[in-house]
Structure formats: structure tokens, C-alpha cells
Amino acid sequence: MNLDWQPLWLTFKLAGITTFLLLLLGLPLAWWLAHTRSRVKPIVEAIISLPIVLPPSVMGFYLLLAFSPTGFPGSFFSDVLNVPLVFSFTGLVVGSVIYSLPFMVQPLQAGLESLPNSLTEASYTLGRSKTETLFRVLLPNIRPALLTGTVLSFAHTIGEFGLVLMIGGNIPGETRVVSIAIYHEVESLNYGSAHVYSLVLLVLSFLILLTVYLVNKRLVKTL
């Protein structure tokens, strides 16, 4: 059996980039949600959580329309940046960020909301800015939430199938991630390769979750 390792590598690259972008995007968003008294908060929360309940095919269908060179922001990406969003790795990253957003934002928001307001206030009265307060007081005290958010986003991106299929298709080296490769191998009756890919994903997913639970237990203790 000649196994193509590229889908595995592509999957972890996608999950890694997506998780990194989600940290950058999710942190300010979670901070805003935890502190705002704005009336639009429930609307924003509902939109962020949509990927949890919507079938990936629905998300994928709308994203496909939006990403296409005639839609927005697809036209912007293909015309101005010269990077097409459909059937491309970039498109997968953008799609995955949207798809995994709730898995990053929700733990972070819950973590920030669980901290008493007086911690922030105390930091301000001790002369520290909002940014310093975030990085030196708030984030270190929500380490379990940070870890949960990061790992869940990573794992969720690895587990994507429907969305990737809709907006990425099955282009080797570009959009053929492991979940797609498994489907492809089964369709071609290559059960051997499908077994290997599936087993790798199964073992990895289990190990990731096990680590989260073990480490979180320890983090909570040392805090």
C-alpha cells in the first residue's frame, strides 16, 4: 500500500493556521462580548454560534456563493489580492475560521466572564492600561479556557468535512484534507488507506482530548 501523507500534513497545516488566526480574532471578540452592554450582543453571539447548529452543507453553500469570484468577498480576494477563495487553501482557511469561531470564542468569553470585575478595576487603579490588564491579569487567570479554546478549535478544524467539500472540493495538495481523502479512498474502494487515515485521526483526536482534560485538571489546581 502506497500511502499519500500529504492530506495529513495539509490537515495539520490548515488546523494550525486556523487556530492561530482564531486566537488573534477570538480574543478581542470574546473580550468585547464579556464586557459590552450593547444591545446587539445577543445578535453577535447568535451569529458566532451558528456553525454549531447549522449543517456544514448549509454553511458551505452560502460560503461557496460568497467566495465565488462574482460574490463578496470572493471578488475582492480574486480581483484585488489575486487569491481565489473557492477551491483553494486560502478559502479553506477563511471558511475554517468562520466554522470554528464559536469553539474559540465561547470558552474565552465564559472564562473572562467568570473573573470578578474587581480584578480589572484593581489593575486600573494600580495604574495599568487595558492591554496590560488583559495580558498580565486576565489571560493568565483564564489559562484553562485558553487551552480549551485553542485545542477545540484545532480539533474541530481537523474534523471538518462538509464545509471543506463544498468550498474546497478534492484537489490534491491544495484542498484534499484527511477527512476528504478518507471519503475519496472509500469511494475508490481503497479500504486500506482509509483505515490508516481514520486510525491516525481517531488516535490523535483521543490524545488531544485526553491532554486537555489532564492539563486542565492540573491548571485548575495550581491556580
Partner 1 sequence: MIQIRVRKSLLMASGKTELAVDFNLEAGSFCTLYGKSGAGKTTILKILAGLIQPDEGFISVNDEVWLDTGKNINLPPQKREIGFVFQDYALFPNMTVRENLQYALNGKTDKNRIDDLLERAALQQLAHRKPLTLSGGQQQRVALMRALVRKPQILLLDEPLSALDLEMRQTLQTEIYGLHQSFHTTTLLVSHQLSEIYRLSDFIISLENGKIMAQGTPAGVFGRERLSSKIQLIGEVLSIRENGVVYILDILVGNNIIKTVTTAEEVQGLQPGDQVKVSAKAFNPIVQKL
For helices 41-53 and 89-114, the axis angle rounded to 10 degrees is 120
Cβ proximity to partner 1, 5 vs 136, nearer residue: 136
C-alpha distances (whole Å) from 202 to each of 148, 161, 194, 195, 207 are 19, 15, 12, 10, 9
Peptide bond into 42 cis (omega under 30): no
Cβ proximity to partner 1, 122 vs 171, nearer residue: 122
DSSP state of 176: -
Secondary structure element (H or E) that encloses residue 35, with its range:
helix 6-35
Cβ proximity to partner 1, 50 vs 115, nearer residue: 115
- Which residues of the chain form contacts with partner 1 (CB under 8 A)? 116, 118-119, 121-129, 136-137, 140-141, 223
Q: Count of residues for the chain?
A: 223
Q: How far is the CB of 166 from partner 1 (least distance, A)?
A: 43
Q: How far is the CB of 39 from partner 1 (least distance, A)?
A: 16
Cβ proximity to partner 1, 202 vs 223, nearer residue: 223
Q: How far is the CB of 222 from partner 1 (least distance, A)?
A: 9
CA–CA dist 52, 83 (Å, integer): 28
Q: How far is the CB of 139 from partner 1 (least distance, A)?
A: 9
